[in-house]
Amino acid sequence: MAKIANPIYDTVFKYLVEDNKAAKFLLSAMLGTEIYELEMRQHEYVQKIKDDLKLMRIDFGAKIKDLDGNYQIVTIELQKARLEGDVLRFRQYLASQYKDEKNIIEINGRSHAIPIVSIYILGYPCCNIEEPVIYEVPEFYNAENQKITDVKSEFIFGLIHKMIIVQIPYLRKKVKTRVEQLLSIFDQNYKVTSDTKYPRVLDVPENEDDKQYNYLVRRLIKANSEEEIVSSMEVEDQIYYEFDLWEKRVNFQQEQLDKAKELLVEQKNQLVEQKNQINEQKSQIDEQKSQIDEQKNQLIEKDKRMAKKLLSLGNSIEEISEFLSIDIQKVKEYLK
């Protein structure tokens, strides 16, 4: 077993691929073709604490041999994200690659788009496919849904790109393929006990029969002994620790806001319910009032009929008033 610096750390990963030979071995395995020439064009280390993306980007220009045995120039866009990020940021960076004049080559006085291969090494699962390596290769079909093969078109391949996704959490100790063998240097299952979120050291197996794998391992063994690299890893741990604290505070505040919102909605619903009950009670009171008014009118009509009948029987207004227990003025109104 060999103790190596964990390449999930950005500073270690950068140290690894800055070595042209190591980068060739790793990228050739992922591309599935030999890289004859490789040049690191630029690298960008995006480290934003109060945002959702911690990302390292490294661009390479590579000369490879295609399936027909012809040499081809390609741009390899290598991105490594330790934490889950917004996919729109990846899209924006990819869009900038399409616009970049460095990805255009002049041949016989004409401009040609250099094919782009995007490689994403992710410290988190990005989809429901539980595989360590996922290849997305454009396929072509006609209107009858029949697959078209051997497509050769500068127009088509200038507008699309190949994509390779490495999901570090799904790397396994029992490797099945060549690319998995080389990527096993990222396998967090080989972690050495650590009190940090990610172990700074991995204890990976050695394989004397695999020169390329051993070269990567030796490069990372060297990184583990570099004081500057170790110090940078400590800084990264502190940065991610602060980010975790900030994220927890944000999540807690969001939970409190969500609870307050739920409480307000509940109180609003209660007020609406109370208002409906009050309106219902008011309707009941109005109905009762209508019934009382109707009964009162019925009694008045009854008194009118009785007053007229008593008058026809020879009773005086005073006698009728006394009999019906109503004042004389009312009796006079009833008799009109």
Condensed to tens digits (0 to 9), the pLDDT of residues 16-28 reads 999 999 999 999 9
Q: In the chain, what are the helix, strand and coil shares in percent, each to the nearest 5?
A: 50, 20, 25
The tokens for 205 are: 């197996």
- Out of 40-54, 109-123, 190-204, 206-220, the most confident range is 206-220
Strand, helix or coil at 314? coil
Residue type, 243: F
pLDDT per position as a tens digit, 201-221:
999 998 888 999 999 999 999
Between these two residues, 243 and 304, which has the higher pLDDT value?
304
| CA 311 – CA 327 distance, rounded (Å) | 15
Lowest mean pLDDT among 13-27, 43-57, 170-184, 218-232: 43-57
Between these two residues, 159 and 170, which has the higher pLDDT value?
170
E strands, 229-316, are none
**pTM here?**
0.67
What residues does each domain of the chain span?
2-225, 296-334
Buried b (16+ CB within 10 A) or exposed e, 241-266: eebeeeeeeeeeeeeeeeeeeeeeee
The tokens for 293 are: 């008014």
Residue type, 106: E
**Strand pairing report for 104-107 and 110-113:** antiparallel
164 burial level (CB within 10 Å; 0-12, 13-18, 19+):
buried
| CA 165 – CA 177 distance, rounded (Å) | 15
| DSSP string of 36-92, one letter each residue | EEEEEEEEEEEE-TTSS-EEEEEEEEEEEE-TTS-EEEEEEEEEEESS---HHHHHH
pLDDT per position as a tens digit, 93-107:
677 777 777 777 777
Q: Check pLDDT > 50 for residue 50.
A: no
Q: Check pLDDT > 50 for residue 58.
A: yes
| CA 276 – CA 281 distance, rounded (Å) | 9
Q: What is the mean pLDDT of the chain?
A: 85
Residue type, 302: K
Decide if 74 contacts 117 (C-beta within 8 A). yes
Q: Check pLDDT > 80 for residue 262.
A: yes
Strand, helix or coil at 240? helix
Mean pLDDT to the nearest integer, 238-259: 81
Q: Check pLDDT > 50 for residue 52.
A: no
Q: Check pLDDT > 90 for residue 198.
A: no
Distances from the Cα of 315 to the Cαs of 301, 302, 312, 334, in angstroms? 19, 17, 7, 14
pLDDT per position as a tens digit, 70-85:
788 888 888 887 767 6
Strand, helix or coil at 135? strand
| 107, β-bridge pairs | 110
